[in-house]
Amino acid sequence: MKRFTLAAILLGVAALLLAGTASAQQAAQPAPAGTTSAAPKQYVFPAKGQTPEQQQQDEAACSSWATQQTGFDPAKPPAPPQPAPTPAPQKGAGLRGAARGAAAGYIVGDIANDEGGEGAAIGAVVGGARAASKQKQAQGAAQQQQTAQQQQYQQQVQQLQGEYLKARTACLEAKGYTVK
């Protein structure tokens, strides 16, 4: 029975070490970089017979005015938020969990049926799995937070683009252009 217990403990520890290595490799993968969508195209028609040169000057002036009014330059959108550092996998967390589980399992197994070794083996596997699960949950929470920040950034840029386009349209319409 003691050989079985020792083999079970070694097997459990080996499984935990492999699981910890896999989760560490998974955590090392970089998150995809955020991209912003290009500003919608505006079509400007010279409704009062403006020349192409005049239209070009007016569009440049209205773009500059819209940037001054809104604080948004479509050529230089605000920088995306810096990704929050993902929690580094704790070295030895699975082993510590296995040790705690083995200690608790030994005590319970010894009290229940005088088989502390068997209880320790079961406790080691359960404790290590629990530690790995907690680590995975922490990494998932960090990824969700990063995704939420990226979505908030994209919404902010879209709102600023909309305000910029409204201001540019108002300026161009005041100069006698039809804008769609």
The answer to whether residue 30 sits within a structural domain is no
Q: What's the chain's average pLDDT?
A: 75
- Enumerate long-range contacts of 114-122, CB under 8 Å, 24 or more apart: 115/1, 117/1, 117/2, 117/5, 117/6, 118/1, 118/4, 118/5, 118/8, 120/5, 120/9, 121/5, 121/8, 121/9, 121/12, 122/8
Distance from C-alpha of 179 to C-alpha of 47, rounded to nearest angstrom: 9
The answer to whether residue 146 sits within a structural domain is yes
Q: How much is the pTM?
A: 0.54
At 78-105, the pLDDT tens digits run: 888 887 666 666 666 666 766 666 666 6
The answer to whether residue 37 sits within a structural domain is no
The answer to whether residue 132 sits within a structural domain is yes
The pLDDT value given to residue 106 = 61
Nearest to 134 by CA among 82, 102, 90: 90
Amino acid identity, position 56: Q
Distance from C-alpha of 79 to C-alpha of 75, rounded to nearest angstrom: 12
Q: Which residues of the chain have pLDDT under 70?
A: 1-39, 84-95, 97-121, 123-125, 128
The pLDDT value given to residue 43 = 95
The answer to whether residue 39 sits within a structural domain is no
Nearest to 21 by CA among 93, 87, 85: 93
The pLDDT value given to residue 134 = 75
The answer to whether residue 76 sits within a structural domain is yes
The answer to whether residue 170 sits within a structural domain is yes
Q: Which domain holds residue 88?
A: 2-25+44-179
Per the structure, how many domains does the chain have? 1
User: 60 and 88 in contact (C-beta within 8 Å)?
Assistant: no
